[in-house]
Amino acid sequence: MTVKSKWQNRKTVVGSSQLELAERVKDHERRGWRKVGKGVEIHRVHKSEYIQVMEFGRLVNAN
């Protein structure tokens, strides 16, 4: 018997702008994912990335 980690139910959604990230998060929420924490903006040398961690709600709520 294997033990499943809750981290297997998480993924990171990345967008090049806040608008693009919001659209991707909305699309994931329609498929059963939910937000974990607040969105983060990471400044790179040439561009910024907007990141949101998502967690699959159905698998997490089943525990």
**Predicted TM-score (pTM) of this structure:** 0.72
Torsions phi, psi of 49, nearest 5?
A: -125, 140
Q: What percent of the chain has pLDDT over 90?
A: 56
Domain total for the chain? 1
* 32 part of a folded domain: yes
* 3 part of a folded domain: no
* 13 part of a folded domain: yes
* 30 part of a folded domain: yes
pLDDT at 25 over 80: yes
- pLDDT band of residue 23 (cuts 50, 70, 90) is very high
pLDDT at 18 over 70: yes
Residue 59 near residue 33, CB atoms below 8 Å? no
Tokens at 19, concatenated: 């608008």
* 1 part of a folded domain: no
* 18 part of a folded domain: yes
- Domain, as residue range, for 22: 8-61
